[in-house]
Every structure is written in structure tokens, then in C-alpha cells.
């Protein structure tokens, strides 16, 4: 019997999700034994034409990492959707938009103006910006379109499953692959990670008081971080209550608070809003003026509460007036 065909591809990503596959170490050999990887640009030969030549649905599964920011990435996502029975949004960027999704606080114009204009090292008095097509003496050069907006994968194509994390840890990757190979899959649309919140599995959970109350927010650099106590109990923002578990508490192990890369817990649409409401409930004051003061001590709630999930949130992006 022919082995199932698998594709691994990246869009607007950093390569960390590719490293996550590599960090399977010995297990990657088991994977290679069980499946035929027919596309993995980071590690194997591939041609777009090879993928195009596959029958629709010939791929058992396509793992796509990275957000979608350019026309080329959208094309690839659509091509792989056609060819694959299952599409797994792999990693925070495909799942939620990821850190590069914070670019939705801006648009193409402002990014170009900064990147090719106002930044202090740029030498560009001619005002050159990258063009879709450029006439050079020898011919014409093309670039893909850079969109105004960063999209999570399911905003561009239909997605079957989500593997969360920046990057997903090896054990969850292996579990997902095993589930796919054995056909023992949860309902479509599931996130392939525990349903609990990070707090539920956090080794510091015991130090979290029954009723969490904080009077003042401290930014991580403003205070010595106790290596054993609940960050929130210490007044340090940790998005654990609004974040899905399954990461292995790896940032906590380094004595740093969670920033939410695993996305919202089950049945929560908007991770940032969820955290905001969790935070509001633990601030030890009813006085609106005091409340305001506490809020002011977090000068960038968007960046902090939506560090990984802005494109997939209810906010999606900064809204601009129609011109």
C-alpha cells in the first residue's frame, strides 16, 4: 500500500516551525518511514509544479505554518487546500496570525514608509519602494503583492485542525501525526492540544491564592521575579488564565510569564478580551479612578494581550476610515 503523502509548507513565518519538526530528532525517522513527505521546502526538494501535478485530494495532510501576508502565500495556501484532504494550521502564525499579526496595527503604506523611508539607516532620497513589476535594462522583474492585512490561515482557506504554539512542542506534533495516521481524529475544527488553561497545569498553580487580588501591575523588568510564585499573584502580567495549556510551561520554567502563544482556551473566541476580563476580576479595587490607574500601568494592552492573536481576534486589525 502506498504511504500517505504529506506536505509541509511555510508562509509568513520565521522558520521556527520547521525547526520544531527537526527537533523531533530520532522521531522524524519514524515519520519518514510512515509517510511520504512530498513537499518540505526547508528540508527537501520541491517544485510548485510537482504539487500542481498531484490530483486534488491526493495529499493526506498539509501542515501549513506562517500567516498570510502576500499574494504568493495566498496562492500556495489555496493550492495546498485543493490538493490535501486535511489541512492543519501549524503554529501560532497560521493558527492565530502570530506575532507578525501585530502588523495589523498598521497597513502597507505605513510599513513601506517606515521600512524604505523614515528609518534612520535608509538612504533613499529617490523615494524608491518595492514594486510589483520593475523594468530593468535586461527585462522585467516581479514581486508578489504585499497586503494591507495579515491573515490567519483560516481567514484565507478552510482549515481542518490547529496545532498551536510558537513553535508547537515535539510531543504535540507527534500526537497529531499519530492521530492522523490512525484516523482517530477529534471533530473538525479542533485544536490539537489540551482543553485546559495554562494555569491548570502550571507548576506555580499552588502558589496562586484562592482569591487572586492585585493592587498594582508590575512590568517584568521592574521587579525581581520570584522563581516559584504565581506571576499574577506578584502583580506581573501572565496571560496563563486566558491561554491554552500544552506548551510544557516552557517560559514559566525559565521564570518568565506567559505571553499566550497557544491561543485561547476552548470555546473562547477572543484571547485578549478573555484575559482583560480575567484581569479586571482580580484587580483589588472597585473604585473607577483606581481602576484607571491600574490600567494605565499597562501602556500597551493590545501588544500584550493580543501578542499572538490579533488577526484572529474580534479586532482583526486597526480600522481606518474609508477614503
Partner 1 sequence: MTKRITIDPITRLEGHGKIEIFLDDRGNVARAYFQVPELRGFEKFAEGRMAEEMPRITPKICGVCPTAHHMASTKAVDDLFKVEPPRTARLIRELVYNAFMFEDHALHFYFLGGPDFVVGPQAPKAERNILGVIAKVGLETGAKVIDMRKRVRNIIITMGGRVIHPVLGLPGGVSRGVTKENREEFAQTAKDAVEFARFSLNLFGDVVLKNKGYVDTITGDVYKHRTYYMGLVDAQNKVNFYDGDIRVVDPNGKQFAKFPARDYLKHISEHVEPWSYAKFPFLKAVGWKGFVDGEKSGIYRVAPLARLNASDGLATPKAQTEHDRLYDVLGGKPAHNTLAYHWARLVEMLYAAERMVELVKDPDIMGAHIRTLPTQTPSEGIGVVEAPRGTLIHHFKSDARGIITQANLIVATVNNAPAICMSVERAAKGLIKDGKVSDGLLNMIEMAFRAYDPCFACTTHALPGRMPLEVEIKGPDGTLIERLSQFIG
Taking CB under 8 A as the criterion, which residues in 247-266 touch partner 1? 250-256, 259
Residue 132 vs residues 10, 72, 129, 169, 172: alpha-carbon distances, Å: 21, 12, 10, 37, 39
Size of the site for partner 1 (CB under 8 A): 86
What the block records as the C-alpha cell of 218 is 508590575
Q: Which of 30, 34, 43, 56 binds partner 1 (CB under 8 A)?
A: 43
Cβ at position 210, least distance to partner 1 in Å: 27
For residue 76, which of 86, 85, 66, 35 has the smallest C-alpha distance? 66
Q: Which of 33, 120, 187, 314 binds partner 1 (CB under 8 A)?
A: 120
Cβ at position 231, least distance to partner 1 in Å: 11
Is residue 121 at the binding interface for partner 1, with CB under 8 A as the rule? yes
Cβ at position 211, least distance to partner 1 in Å: 27
Q: Which of 1, 138, 286, 287 binds partner 1 (CB under 8 A)?
A: 138
Q: Which of 3, 15, 171, 213 binds partner 1 (CB under 8 A)?
A: 15
Is residue 14 at the binding interface for partner 1, with CB under 8 A as the rule? yes
Contact predicate 182/32, CB 8 Å: no
Our CA angle for 71, 43, 84, nearest 5°, is 55
Is residue 53 at the binding interface for partner 1, with CB under 8 A as the rule? no
Cβ at position 141, least distance to partner 1 in Å: 4
Is residue 44 at the binding interface for partner 1, with CB under 8 A as the rule? yes
Sign of CA dihedral 224, 230, 235, 239: positive
Select 69 or 160, whichever has its Cβ closest to partner 1: 69
β-partners of residue 146 are 70
Distance between CA atoms of residues 191 and 188, nearest Å: 9
Terminal Cα distance for the chain, rounded: 58
Distance between CA atoms of residues 323 and 320, nearest Å: 9
* Segment interacting with partner 1, rule: CB under 8 A, options 38-46, 56-64, 81-89, 264-272: 38-46
Sequence-ordered list of residues with C-beta below 8 angstroms from that of 222, at least 6 positions apart, any chain: none
Cβ at position 318, least distance to partner 1 in Å: 10
Q: Which of residues 275-294 bind partner 1 (CB under 8 A)?
A: none
In sequence order, what DSSP letters do the residues of 254-291 get, joined into one string?
TT-----TT-PPTT-S-HHHHHHHHHHHHBS---HHHH
Distance between CA atoms of residues 176 and 184, nearest Å: 10
Cβ at position 102, least distance to partner 1 in Å: 4
Select 115 or 320, whichever has its Cβ closest to partner 1: 115
Q: Which of residues 58-117 bind partner 1 (CB under 8 A)?
A: 66, 69-70, 72-73, 98-100, 102-103, 105-106, 110-111, 114-116
Q: Which of residues 175-214 bind partner 1 (CB under 8 A)?
A: none
Is residue 243 at the binding interface for partner 1, with CB under 8 A as the rule? no
Select 98 or 160, whichever has its Cβ closest to partner 1: 98
Q: Which of 156, 167, 193, 278 binds partner 1 (CB under 8 A)?
A: 167
Residue 287 vs residues 191, 271, 293: alpha-carbon distances, Å: 39, 26, 10
Amino acid at each position: 500500500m502506498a504511504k500517505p503523502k504529506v506536505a509541509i509548507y511555510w508562509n509568513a513565518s520565521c522558520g521556527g516551525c520547521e525547526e520544531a519538526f527537526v527537533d523531533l530528532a530520532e522521531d522524524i525517522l519514524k515519520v519518514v518511514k510512515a509517510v511520504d513527505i512530498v513537499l518540505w521546502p526547508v528540508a527537501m526538494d520541491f517544485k510548485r509544479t510537482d504539487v500542481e501535478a498531484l490530483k486534488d485530494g491526493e495529499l493526506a495532510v498539509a501542515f501549513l505554518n506562517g500567516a498570510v501576508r502576500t499574494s504568493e502565500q495566498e496562492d500556495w495556501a489555496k493550492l495546498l487546500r485543493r490538493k490535501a484532504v486535511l489541512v492543519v494550521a501549524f503554529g501560532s502564525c497560521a493558527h492565530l496570525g502570530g506575532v507578525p499579526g501585530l502588523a495589523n496595527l498598521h497597513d502597507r503604506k505605513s510599513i513601506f514608509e517606515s521600512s524604505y523611508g523614515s528609518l534612520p539607516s535608509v538612504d533613499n532620497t529617490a523615494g524608491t519602494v518595492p514594486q510589483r513589476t520593475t523594468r530593468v535594462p535586461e527585462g522585467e522583474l516581479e514581486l508578489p503583492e504585499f497586503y494591507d492585512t495579515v491573515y490567519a490561515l483560516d481567514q484565507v482557506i478552510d482549515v481542518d485542525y490547529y496545532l498551536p504554539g510558537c513553535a508547537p512542542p515535539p510531543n504535540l506534533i507527534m500526537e497529531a501525526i499519530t492521530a492522523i495516521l490512525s484516523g482517530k481524529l477529534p471533530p473538525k475544527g479542533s485544536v490539537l492540544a489540551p482543553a485546559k488553561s495554562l494555569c491548570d497545569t502550571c507548576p506555580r498553580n499552588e502558589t496562586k491564592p484562592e482569591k487572586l487580588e492585585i493592587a498594582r501591575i508590575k512590568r517584568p523588568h521592574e521587579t525581581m521575579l520570584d522563581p516559584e510564585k504565581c506571576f499574577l499573584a506578584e502583580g506581573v502580567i501572565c496571560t496563563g488564565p486566558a491561554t491554552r495549556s500544552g506548551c510544557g510551561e516552557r517560559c514559566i520554567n525559565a521564570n518568565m510569564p506567559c505571553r499566550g502563544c497557544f491561543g485561547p482556551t476552548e470555546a473562547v473566541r477572543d484571547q485578549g478580551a478573555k484575559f482583560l476580563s480575567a484581569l479586571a476580576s482580580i484587580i483589588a479595587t472597585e473604585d473607577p479612578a483606581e481602576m484607571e490607574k491600574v490600567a494605565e500601568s499597562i501602556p500597551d494592552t493590545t501588544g500584550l494581550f493580543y501578542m499572538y492573536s490579533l488577526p484572529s481576534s474580534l479586532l482583526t486589525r486597526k480600522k481606518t476610515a474609508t477614503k
